[in-house]
Amino acid sequence: MSGDMTDSQARETYAAFLAGDEDALVALVDAHKEGLIAFIQTIVGNRDVAQDLAIDVFASLLADRKPFRGDSTFRTYLFAIGKHLAFRHLRRHGKESFLSWDDFVQESQAA
């Protein structure tokens, strides 16, 4: 399960967000971000890119404010958005070999 939030709690929290409770989005991010990042990372192969794309998933919720139809779990809904963004990223950039900032600093210090 995502964080300590059940699917019904996630649905209620998202409904509260749609009704204007901005703190509800924070609760959704806290409950789902790590699982979403890990999922996206399996697609793009890079944690830094996955973190950026996970931010984009939550930003799309904030910008679009689409009602959740309930055809799946809320987690599946989020992951479907993440999957779409990850594949769009791969189409645009390919599965590049990325070097994280930490890796860059370590390699620079080793040289």
Q: In this predicted model, what pLDDT tens digit does every residue of 86-102 receive, in sequence order?
A: 999 999 887 665 555 56
| Mean pLDDT, rounded, for 17-21 | 95
Choosing among 3.30.10.20, 3.40.50.720, 1.10.1740.10, 1.10.3720.10, the CATH entry for 7-110 is 1.10.1740.10
Among residues 38, 46, 36, 45, which one has the least CA distance to residue 5? Answer: 36
Is 19 a residue whose pLDDT tops 80? yes
The pTM of the full predicted model, rounded to 2 decimals, is 0.80
Mean pLDDT of the chain, nearest integer: 87
d(CA 3, CA 74): 13
Where do the structural domains in the chain lie, given as residue ranges?
A: 7-110
pLDDT value for 25: 94
pLDDT (tens digit per residue) in 20-45: 999 999 999 999 999 999 999 999 99
Is 79 a residue whose pLDDT tops 60? yes
Gyration radius (Cα) of the chain, Å: 16
| Mean pLDDT, rounded, for 49-76 | 92
Structure tokens at 99: 């070097």
